[in-house]
Amino acid sequence: MDFFQILSDIEKVDADVYARFDTRRRVFKHMGGLGKKITAATLPAVLSTMFTKAYGQTTALPQIIVDTLNLALSLEYLEFYFYSQGVTSGLFTGNDLNAITIIRDDEQGHINALKGVLQSAAIADPTALAYDYTAGGNLTPFASPAMFLATSQGFVDTGVRAYKGGAVNLMGNKDILTAALNIHSVEARHSSHIRSMRRGYSTGVANTNGTTIAGLDGGGAGDALPKSWLSLQENGGPKPTKTVANTAGPAGGPLTAAVYAAGTDATKYPADDNVMQSTVNVQSNTTPPTGLTVTAAAASEAFDEPLDAAAVKAIARNFITALGVSKGLFS
Amino acid sequence: MPTTFPSDASSRPATSDQPLLTPIKRRSFFMYAGATAGATALVLAGCSKSDSSPGTTDVGSGDFGVLNYAYALEQLEAAFYAQVLAGSYFTNLPAGSAEKQIFTDLALHEKIHADFLKTALGTNAIKALTPDFSSITFSDRLSVLNAAQAFEDLGVQAYNGAGRYITSADYLTLAGKIVSVEARHAALIRDLISYNSFVGPVTGATVTSNAVIDPSLTSATARMEQSKSPTVVLATANMFLAPGSKLTANSFM
């Protein structure tokens, strides 16, 4: 084993290797001092210790990563307690109860995984008491399956946009970035399924077949009959306060338009009807499949848009109690 | 389609802020390549990079390599859905049926992705690939759905697995904008085949071990998508590509 060759090889792919060990000079000094004691048998152990110190997580995560993951964790808790109440609410049976249970468990897994990354930097469990799913008495998400699912869609679509916006903050740690991406796509799968369920419930049919009703055939932008993907600005979103399917819902309260609107910086975080990707207008750029036309709706559907942390927090702050405020949730 | 440009060129933009549509000029690329050939050889010394086998296309290296990898998969998906639309399963669907609308949307979305990446890559784009869908029966609903599921899940796993190789924040965000749409597709196709299998397969509310997510509640990757490396993804993708269009990703091993 040629230690110096190893270091040299590492330097080719990691120019900072010497800085990680301290400084180049001190590495060599260190090695020199140890030279007499190092034998072929002990060298691997010495190296192991050095590499653990150099590359292991002995130092705190960068603040930007901590902040990004803790916002994600806050959203996961919000969703987890929401679906937990959905499971026990008695609103759902059969396939629908299974779906809500699967999603609840997914959020539990995400919470555990995020806590594992953050370790002591993780926020404390805010508990269910920190969240107010009525948004100050304006919503009744547990009054009906349709109300629950409409509220759920707002949460999950916010979550997908939040992870997408936060990803760039994690680029300094490729493993953490990969983990966040692997959560992000699961949230998108949830959104797809919740939307399928809503298509079923919007017709008043107990949903075992939300994927086979003709609800998709509306030309896009459905708020009550959403596609499984985001079309334009979703006609303002599910509006759980009062929808076509739920005329008995309460009026007022926060609407869901912000979930699909532009973020704080509309250039970096455009609204979901955006068709400009990089410098390309993806509607006019596309040669459509035979017999089809690329509509603005289709062009917007093909890309989901990110949302910045400030805009995400502004949406989420509608759903915390005084206790949540005191814990600094979404502040 | 320019195919003479070396597809494994180290052709990343000089800065992440450089517009996507500003490919490095061919002449300046070769100047760059000549000046740094020695250094590149050193950097790659630790890799088992070998020249592409005859008839295979390597997606290249750097951010353009990742984007070409995405472009290759989007080409495959776009070609697949175009063929679905021409097949009798689709043409026999009643007008206004959900599945007709769904496959129309999917065909549009994937063509939009493929054409976008082609334009964005400009002269750095790999060639147009020739698919081989001989294993798919386009008159049969389940054959079409199963293939769609395979392509959509593969797309999600590919984008998630490639995110770590992207150095430009703008490109990472672009990949993120596409991958969640692929995940929405994948979940719906899964639900069409077996309702509630959006992260599954599932038995009741239990996610089974062959699910697209890690079924554990407590592992380090609990309930996360099980993303795949380019090598694994391309092994599957190559089954649907004709001889002469097989892909490698030698820089992302």
Contact between B197 and A189 under an 8 Å Cβ cutoff? The reply is no
**What CA–CA distance (Å, rounded) separates B143 from B80?**
12
Residues 6+ apart with CB under 8 A from A57: none
Contact between A142 and A91 under an 8 Å Cβ cutoff? The reply is yes
Question: 10 Å Cβ neighbour count for A130?
Answer: 22
State the first-to-last Cα distance of chain A, in angstroms, to the nearest integer.
53
Higher pLDDT, B49 or A265: A265
Residue B185, exposed/middle/buried by CB under 10 A (0-12, 13-18, 19+)? buried
What are B12-30's pLDDT values in tens digits?
Answer: 333 444 444 444 444 443 3
What average pLDDT score do residues B43-68 get? Answer: 72
To the nearest whole percent, how much of chain B has pLDDT over 70?
79
Domain membership flag for residue B40? no
Provide, as residue numbers in chain B, all residues whose Cβ is less than 8 Å from the Cβ of A214: 96-98, 101
**What CA–CA distance (Å, rounded) separates B147 from A259?**
33
ipTM higher than the 0.90 cut: no
Contact between A166 and B162 under an 8 Å Cβ cutoff? The reply is no
pLDDT at residue A169, as a whole number: 98
Biggest CA-to-CA distance, chain B:
62
Domain membership flag for residue B98? yes
Find the CB nearest B112 among A163, A179, A302: A302
Contact B223 A213 (CB under 8 A): no
Contact between A109 and A183 under an 8 Å Cβ cutoff? The reply is no
Higher pLDDT, A209 or A292: A292
B211 has a pLDDT exceeding 90:
yes
Q: Domains of chain A: which residue ranges?
A: 1-55, 60-248+308-331, 270-305
B45 has a pLDDT exceeding 90:
no
Q: Which residue has the tokens 């290797």?
A: A17
Q: With DSSP H G I counted as helix, E B as strand and the rest as coil, what are the percentages for chain A, rounded to 5?
A: 55, 0, 40
- Grouping H, G, I as helix, E, B as strand and the rest as coil, residue B135 is coil
B231 has a pLDDT exceeding 50:
yes
Contact B177 A179 (CB under 8 A): no
Q: Which CATH class is domain A60-248+308-331?
A: mainly alpha
**What CA–CA distance (Å, rounded) separates A240 from A148?**
8
Concatenate the DSSP letters of all residues of B153-207 into one string: HHHHHHHHHHGGG---HHHHHHHHHHHHHHHHHHHHHHHHHSTT-TT--EETTEE
DSSP designation for A214: G
What average pLDDT score do residues B44-59 get? Answer: 60
Across A23-37, A95-109, A229-243, B116-130, least confident range: A23-37
Confidence category of residue A105, pLDDT binned at 50, 70, 90: very high
Contact B115 A282 (CB under 8 A): yes
Structural domain for B81, as ranges: 57-252
Provide, as residue numbers in chain A, all residues whose Cβ is less than 8 Å from the Cβ of B21: 278-280
Contact A182 B226 (CB under 8 A): yes
Distinct helix (H) and strand (E) counts, chain B: 7, 4
What average pLDDT score do residues A144-169 get? Answer: 94
Find the CB nearest B216 among A109, A215, A298: A109
Q: What is the mean pLDDT of chain A?
A: 81
Q: Least CA distance to A284: which residue of chain B?
A: B112
A257 has a pLDDT exceeding 90:
no
- CB-based contact, A192 to chain B, within 8 Å: yes
pLDDT at residue B94, as a whole number: 86
Report the domain count for chain B. 1
B76 has a pLDDT exceeding 60:
yes
Residue A76 Cα, gap to closest chain B Cα (Å): 12
**What CA–CA distance (Å, rounded) separates A204 from B253?**
51
Find the CB nearest A167 among B81, B86, B176: B176
pLDDT at residue A137, as a whole number: 80
Contact between B123 and B178 under an 8 Å Cβ cutoff? The reply is no
Contact between B173 and A164 under an 8 Å Cβ cutoff? The reply is yes
Q: Which residue has the tokens 């002269």?
A: B123
Q: Domain with B158 in it: what CATH number?
A: 1.20.1260.10
Query: Number of Cβ pairs closer than 8 Å across A and B?
Result: 269
What Cα–Cα distance (Å) separates residue A169 from each residue in A71, A178, A293, B163, B221?
Answer: 12, 12, 37, 13, 20
- CB-based contact, A294 to chain B, within 8 Å: yes
pLDDT at residue B38, as a whole number: 40
pTM of the model: 0.81
B52 has a pLDDT exceeding 90:
no
pLDDT at residue A13, as a whole number: 56
Q: At what angle do helices B169-193 and A145-166 cross, to 10 degrees?
A: 150
Q: Least CA distance to B97: which residue of chain A?
A: A214
Contact B187 A298 (CB under 8 A): no
Residue A33 Cα, gap to closest chain B Cα (Å): 29
Interface of A with B in 98-117 (CB under 8 A): 98-99, 101-102, 105-110, 112-113, 116
Provide, as residue numbers in chain B, all residues whose Cβ is less than 8 Å from the Cβ of A211: 98, 188, 191-192, 195
What are A241-256's pLDDT values in tens digits?
Answer: 544 444 444 554 456 8
Contact between A252 and A138 under an 8 Å Cβ cutoff? The reply is yes
